[in-house]
Chains A and B, each alone.
Chain A
Amino acid sequence: MKDFDFEVLVVGSGAGGSMAAYELTKAGHKVLMLEAGRDYDPKTETPMFKRNGEAPLMGAGTIDKDFGYYDATVDGGWNVPNEPYTAADGSEFLWWRARMLGGRTNHWGRYSLRFSEHDFKGKSRDGLGADWPFDYEDIAPWYDKTEALVGVCGTNTGLDDMPPSSDGILQPPPKPRITELLIAAAAKKLGIPLAPMHRAVLTRPLDNRAACFYATPCGHGCSIGAAFQTTTSLIPMAKATGNLQVITDAMVKSVDTDENGKVTGVSYVDKKTSTVHQLKAKVVILAASACESARLLLNSKSARFPQGLANSSGQVGKNLMDSTGANIGALVPALQGRPIYNEDGHTANHLFIPWWGHKAQERKELDFPRGYHFEIGGRFSEPNSGIAGYVQGYGPDLKRQVKQNYGAYIGFALRGEMVPNEHCYMDIDPEVKDKWGIPVARFHWKWSEHELNQVAHGLKTAKAIFAEMGADVGELPTPEQAILKGGEIIHEVGTTRMGASPKDSVTNQWGQSWDCPNLFVMDGGVFASNPHKNCTLTIMTLAMRNSSWLSAQLKQGAI
């Protein structure tokens, strides 16, 4: 990069890093992006129309490809060769990494729900966790800009859990499926509404990206650009300005500082040659994903920063949160043998169940403080290794049973807000290092009664909705049995949280570290709380807003 005189160095090419690069390059700043994974070209590498039967093991998930053979994630997952992590005694935590250009945006669920004023001010409401250092009104225009740029389909519902987008921002949602319509009626009888999911999937063409053609699983990736991933949108758009260059296979090991504590650049390992390189930059933006950015800061120790960089508050690595998760499902007899039609649509929720219990929580009628939503599974999907379900016998009658049950199984996936607690954090393992000699992350984890009570409520609610549909989910598991592991929902955030004071937070509301004015964090690490709504839309929105602010600071000469 000798001939590329860049001003800003961005670590990570996922949602936060790519949005930062897009916003800054558009504003005329030269940006160099480092990605720890390999280069990736969705145009040629996406197995769009591939069928399960063509893949090893009918496409079933394995330790090599956790979400199935055709999942777009390459060189990543909960287990990345050469890059271990550890868990403290008594803790279990799964850490997902996507080591590829575009990071997790290549395969994510693309659920894109705005946080509300309510979500940003949890502590003011119930005394738990931390408030965010701004109000919903401050960020609402940036949600509009992000949704318009990314391309989000959905509608304004008027529900208190779903703040409206400005007119003309959202693209129209696809029609609901029969399963979703049945659930909607059953839930409504219990006073629970369903609503169109907001998803980062185009239902109308946008710039050079095509609208969804309602075929091929979104998880395969989307070479036509309809399902949002930075490799088909923000990265090429930023490159088109002439202001972005990208180095892949670049594993950053430390953020470097001078004797005044000012950040000077980063050191990285070229994974192909195992050589270490140093890069100087005016500004460094960490967007490596929450725990990777925190790991980097904790590993960037110096005489001036003995506890790690940007960690004068001692909060780096603390406040680690994931979403709560639990699954519950059943065969719905009323749907057996129903008329078949194409239920692919875009291959995730058209309708879902947003959190409906704010008022009950205000009235203190619930024994848990924060909300959850249900994502819904159940449609005529392409057969996979689990297609048989629970059947008996043999011969023609056996096949008839499978056909009869096809499209009649419904599953609910709970996703809920977790309150940060002192037992959930990450630090650096004192002994273990990865292949590149970089000390690895060590996780500490324990769910509190807030999460367990919430999951118990979710299980009971789901059982009641299933009962209205004439389906029996059987005996409910305990919440301890049902709750998924920390990290399993892959919504880990909070390890470099933003706040109003340098005493108890790592960055200010702009993602600017309190300790080093030219060091920013623009991934989920800055989340002060983790509302039940999937985090990526807010990561992108904050990255856009904060890069815009950074650009102004650079132009004013303030940084």
Chain B
Amino acid sequence: MAKDQINNAVDQQQIQYKSGMTRRDSLKLMMALAASTLLPAVLTGCDSAPVSKTDTGAEAAKTTSEHWPELKLSPITATGYGKDPNLILPPASPWPLTLTQAQLTLVAVLADILVPREGAVPSASEVHVPAVVDEWVSAPYERQQQDRVTILSALAWIDDEAQMRFSKTFVALTKVQQKAIMDDIAFDTAETPAQFKRIASAFGRFRSLVLAAFFCTPEGTKDIGYVGNVPIGGDYPGPTKEAYAHLDKVLADLGLTEYAYPIQT
């Protein structure tokens, strides 16, 4: 695929998320791209400017009682990758993907609200997090099937909420309107209002999955700072001076200095 075609494909994600490539194909592609050029910042995440209540219409439209979509999901009947899959070249598409185009687009928008582009670090959808979410919720294993119910319900709830508040799908809302809903459901704490408890918990599961999918990409792994999996000649070097210095301070703060384990540097 030529570079401009890829850029076009990425551009279209603004309206409709395309997930034509398998994730592992896309990983290869993204790595190739990273070597040749910087990806354009086509998707913007939420902005962090304060939002006034009049902008969001929140006072008028905010739901005050719990609603929950009762989804009728057809069961996943695909088989798994089996007990002896190829570990060197994993199957490109281990099972059929099941998210609809509309769901994928919503996942992409939400994923980029959760993990927006920051400078040179791409957003979640730029590194194909929606494809991973699709693979996950389409997987024929027990844990993933549970997550499927949770996550698809959350997606449906978010569109229901958008309709109730603003008479549009979530994707069609303004960023300010999207943020208003996010502010109600993205914090699962003791203070979360009763009507948002269930969605906050379900959205939390979605958030964990998006974060995992992001940090497992080469870009995300680099962003979190993981520096391992690099062959080292000679003995394992152990902590850096900076890391030891930090430990010393931690031990001092905790009153543990006199119990420090002897270090041979």
Contacts and interface: CB of A to CB of B under 8 A. Distances in A.
Determine if chain A interacts with chain B. Answer: yes
B83 A177 contact: no
B238 A382 contact: no
Contacts of B254: 185-186, 334, 468-470
A395 B230 contact: no
Interface of A: 38, 44-47, 49-58, 60, 62-65, 69-70, 74-77, 80-81, 172, 174-178, 180-182, 184-186, 188-189, 194, 203, 212-216, 220, 334-335, 338-346, 351, 380-388, 391-399, 402-403, 406, 468-470
Contacts of B80: 62-64
Interface of B: 24, 27, 45-46, 48, 80-85, 87-88, 90-91, 94, 113-116, 118, 132, 135-136, 139, 141-144, 182, 186-189, 207-209, 211-213, 215-218, 220-221, 223-233, 235-240, 242-244, 246-247, 250-251, 253-254, 256-257, 259-261, 263-264
Contacts of A387: 211-212, 215-216, 224
A65 B143 CA distance: 13
Given A181-B247, A334-B253, 18 more contacts: A51-B218, A53-B218, A53-B221, A58-B132, A60-B143, A77-B83, A176-B238, A176-B261, A177-B238, A185-B254, A213-B231, A214-B236, A382-B228, A388-B212, A391-B207, A393-B187, A395-B113, A468-B254
Given A63-B141, A346-B236, A392 B187 contact: yes
A57 B136 contact: yes
Given A69-B85, A351-B261, A383 B238 contact: no
Contact of B188 (A174, A392, A403): A392
B261 A188 contact: yes
A38 B237 CA distance: 38
B83 A340 contact: no
B84 A339 contact: no
A74 B88 CA distance: 13
A388 B45 contact: no
Nearest to A396: B118
B186 A392 contact: yes
Given A58-B213, A69-B90, A396-B116, A185 B251 contact: yes
Contact of B88 (A45, A174, A188, A393): A45
Given A63-B142, A394-B186, A383 B225 contact: no
B187 A185 contact: no
6 contacts: A51-B221, A55-B90, A70-B87, A76-B83, A175-B236, A468-B256
Given A77-B83, A214-B236, A394-B207, A182 B229 contact: no
A385 B216 contact: yes
A384 B227 contact: no
A302 to B, nearest CB: 34
B48 A395 contact: yes
Contacts of A339: 240, 242-243, 246
A182 B221 contact: no
A393 B116 CA distance: 13
Q: Which 9 A-B pairs have the closest CB atoms?
A: A175-B238, A344-B228, A184-B261, A53-B216, A388-B211, A383-B215, A174-B236, A213-B231, A188-B259
A385 B242 contact: no
Given A69-B87, A177-B238, A381 B228 contact: yes
A391 B217 contact: no
A64 B82 contact: yes
